[in-house]
Amino acid sequence: MRVLLTTMGSRGDVEPVVALAVALRGLGAEVLVCAPPDEDFVALLGRVGVPLVPLGPTVRSVVAGSKPPTADDAFRLAAELVAARFEVLTAAAEGCDALVATGLMPAGARDVAEKLGIRYVYACLQIFGLPSRHFRPGARPGKQSPQDETDNRVLWEQDAQRVNALYGAALNRHRAAIGLPPVDNVRDYVFTDRPWLAADPILCPSEGLTDLELVRTGAWILRDDRPLPDGLAAFLDAGAPPVYVGFGSIASYLPKDIARVAIEAVRAQGHRVLLARGWAELDLIDDAADCFAVGEVNQQALFGRVAAVVHHGGAGTTTTAARAGAPQVVVPQIADQPYWAGRVAELGIGAGHEGPTPTVDSLSAALTTALAPETRTQAKTVAGMIRTDGAMVAAKLLLSERG
């Protein structure tokens, strides 16, 4: 069987797809991955020997500028990605039996599968983006809902209209060019009636939260066996476990002084600091021996050796920290990150910071909760409940359901 996997987004959107690719290949399938051509992702796929078919612009060029993308940027990118998917996926999917799409609204992927007559699966990495009677939709560019609207059904209908405004014209123009009829609800067409949920059931419970028929596979986790760099290992060995601070691919959204605030807040708790530079290229504020800065490293190996993890609340980082039993402080910035902050607090495995702009005092207060002995005990308990077989569950399901 030959399978095409495609995603668009940050490392948290790409790494799960690579995990599924590895699982599929282990079961004898031939796999291709269409993803953004960022250096990080090229290296990630190269590490496991899975071919990368470049799709669209680099994500870093879109999100790591001096300012967050504007609404106009979002509309331009949406049309560009639709065109790229029709072109790139059509060529890459030749001879494939199935196409699995995830990440940023993959408008264009199902259309290619429809034209080629192959199976299509939409997978989401959290429940946050699926229509629900129980919570409001997240923010999207476009005409916003009235402030006084409280009916979630109405709000999700308006969300569908925003998706249509972003993707509809470009999608239907490309569909017409290959002889397909127009789609009147892009979001629901992309999602299908039976989307897969690639998230851990403890961290992301879904029962009754959407009317869609979810297929729950568990999180798609890529095993990482890389050793920690010598300098980092030496820093860890030189004292008590530090507090890790890192915000991944979040760059232009971060407060400008986030590194200073975080370092001072961690020091106020009497802990050393391990600062991940990330796409924001954060740096140390002085040359004191209690701080160390790192680039991209094996978080699976690292998080078991830290006192706590301060991060932005990406699905991947949240899951990795939870698996390691590391208490967390989530400082959410955009998208699904407030959801993960709430889940960390609800589970008692850390704290969710109120709002995206911490002060030394507010972050220190959140760290007080995360560093409490009872929080670490609960984090260790939850760590034993996290499933690690989600990618294999999904791979077996994909290969067994060929219709």
Give the strand order in the sheet containing 52-54. Answer: 52-54, 30-35, 2-6, 98-101, 119-124, 196-197, 215-216
The answer to whether the beta carbons of residues 97 and 402 sit under 8 Å apart is yes
Annotated domain spans of the chain = 2-221+388-400, 230-383
Using the predicted structure, report yes or no on whether residue 403 has a pLDDT greater than 50: no
- Distinct helix (H) and strand (E) counts, the chain: 16, 13
Give the model's confidence band at 64: pLDDT under 50 very low, under 70 low, under 90 confident, else very high: confident
Domain 230-383: CATH architecture, name and number where available: 3-Layer(aba) Sandwich (3.40)
In percent, the amount of the chain with pLDDT more than 70 equals 100
User: Quick one: which H or E segment has residue 257?
Assistant: none
2-221+388-400 against 230-383: fold identical: yes
> Is the CATH number 3.40.50.2000 carried by domain 2-221+388-400?
yes
Mean residue pLDDT of the chain comes to 96
Q: The whole model's pTM is what?
A: 0.96
Contact (Cβ atoms closer than 8 angstroms) between residue 108 and residue 82: yes
Inter-residue contact 204 to 197 (CB < 8 Å): yes
Q: Which residues contact 210 (CB under 8 A, 6 or more apart)?
A: 127, 130, 131, 132
Residue 283 CB coordination number (10 Å): 9
pLDDT in tens, 15-55: 999 999 999 999 999 999 999 999 999 999 999 999 899 99
Q: Side chain identity at 59, as an amino acid letter? A: V
Sheet containing 291-294, strands listed edge to edge, beginning at the edge strand earlier in sequence:
291-294, 273-276, 243-245, 308-311, 328-330, 350-352
Q: pLDDT for 137-189, tens place per residue?
A: 999 999 999 989 999 999 999 999 999 999 999 999 999 999 999 999 999 99
Give the pLDDT band (50/70/90) at residue 402.
Answer: low
Q: List pLDDT tens digits, range 221-234.
A: 999 999 999 999 99
Whether 211 has a pLDDT exceeding 90, the answer reads no
Start-to-end CA span in the chain (Å) = 13
